[in-house]
Amino acid sequence: MQIGIFTDETALATTAAKHLIKILNNSENKVLGLATGSTPLPLYEQLRAANRAGKFTLRGVQGFALDEYVGIAADHPERYRNVLRAELVGDDKTGLREEDLHTPEGNAADPRQAAADYDAAIKAAGGIAIQILGIGADGHIGFNEPGTSLTSRTHVDVLTEQTRRDNARFFENDMDKVPSQCITQGLGTIMEAKYIMLIATGENKATAVRELVEGGISARWQASMLQMHPNALILVDEAAASELQLAVFYRERWNHNL
Ligand code: PGA
């Protein structure tokens, strides 16, 4: 696990984009794991800028979202397929093609089958070269909420009250409008990505980041499973790093540029 601590969001996003582009360019299977939420937005802006500058394109790359709400209207702007389309799809964005954007089918008649099909589609694409992750204040990655098996596959889950409260800002500040279920890649699925890049910003992520990096591995803090991943890059701002006991050491190791 490498931990980078940044003073500002732009420096963090620039480093994140640099690593993502390098890993994807060097990877034989061009498969990118995509995250939604607020945290990756500056990174997506960097990818759009790189595409505009002709330095990078997601054209020809397969993109797989981490998760999707169950039972959200197809045209709802917060449906993750629509969010990712608006951020990434098209030559005026990152070059990602609509047909190469894969999201779990949250409106399927049988969401559990849709989850299993999604897991199989990731495998069929050759697996994810690099997975972008955010983290919930309750430690979730994807929508793997506390208590989920640390080896779970893509599955239907229920959102915690905390997550629905956190996401209410996307739903007219009304947590009752936040869907209560989702389909999410499981921890077992996420752990199969060759590289992981988790980004966390803001003080309300500080406890989750502490548990991720320095806590024991436990189903209570799902992200702690990343301690078992051989290639996990954790990029945080000062606020999200504020509860880390060994921040001085992580900075020193980061400066060694391993
Ligand atoms: P956020 O969400 O980036 O909007 O904070 C992260 C997450 O819930 O995984």
pLDDT per residue over 193-223, tens digit each?
999 999 999 999 999 999 999 999 999 999 9
CB distance 37 to ligand 1 below 6 Å: yes
Mean pLDDT confidence for 134-151 = 96
| Position 257 confidence tier, pLDDT thresholds 50, 70, 90 | confident
CB distance 134 to ligand 1 below 6 Å: yes
Atom from ligand 1 closest to the CA of residue 37? 4
CB distance 106 to ligand 1 below 6 Å: no
User: 211 an active-site residue?
Assistant: no
User: 145 an active-site residue?
Assistant: yes
Kindly give, in sequence order, each residue whose CB lies less than 8 Å from that of residue 87, ignoring residues fewer than 6 positions away. Answer: 41, 44, 48, 93, 94
Over the chain, what is the mean pLDDT?
97
* Amino acid code (one letter) for 162: Q
How far lies 87's CA from each of 79, 108, 113, 120, in Å? 13, 24, 28, 25
Percentage with pLDDT > 90 across the chain: 98
Angle at 238 between CA 234 and CA 244, to 5 degrees: 65
CA distance 222 to 219: 5
Residue 76 phi/psi, 5-degree rounding, is -65, 130
pLDDT surpassing 90 at residue 138: yes
| Position 134 confidence tier, pLDDT thresholds 50, 70, 90 | very high
Atom from ligand 1 closest to the CA of residue 201? 5
| Position 120 confidence tier, pLDDT thresholds 50, 70, 90 | very high
Query: For residues 106, 195, 62 and 59, what is the CA-based torsion angle, rounded to 10 degrees?
Result: 130
Percentage with pLDDT > 70 across the chain: 100
B/e letters for 29-66, b = 16+ CB within 10 Å, e = fewer, are ebbbbbbbbebbebbbebbbebbeeeebebeebbbbbb
pLDDT digits (tens, 9 = 90+) for 3-32: 999 998 899 999 999 999 999 999 999 999
The active-site residue out of 138, 157, 166, 211 is 138
Which carries the bigger pLDDT value, residue 185 or residue 257? 185
pLDDT of residue 171: 96
Atom from ligand 1 closest to the CA of residue 202? 5
| Position 258 confidence tier, pLDDT thresholds 50, 70, 90 | confident
The active-site residue out of 87, 100, 145, 157 is 145
The active-site residue out of 87, 102, 119, 140 is 140
Residues 164 and 175: beta-carbon distance below 8 Å: yes
pLDDT digits (tens, 9 = 90+) for 38-88: 999 999 999 999 999 999 999 999 999 999 999 999 999 999 999 999 999
CA distance 232 to 3: 9
Residues 244 and 209: beta-carbon distance below 8 Å: yes
pLDDT of residue 84: 98
| Residue of 36, 157, 167, 209 with the most ligand 1 atoms within 8 Å of its CB, for mutation | 36
pLDDT surpassing 80 at residue 254: yes
- Distance of alpha carbon 156 from the chain centroid: 17
Q: Which protein residue's CA is at the shortest distance from atom 1 of ligand 1? A: 37
pLDDT of residue 101: 98
How many C-beta neighbours within 10 Å does residue 110 have?
11
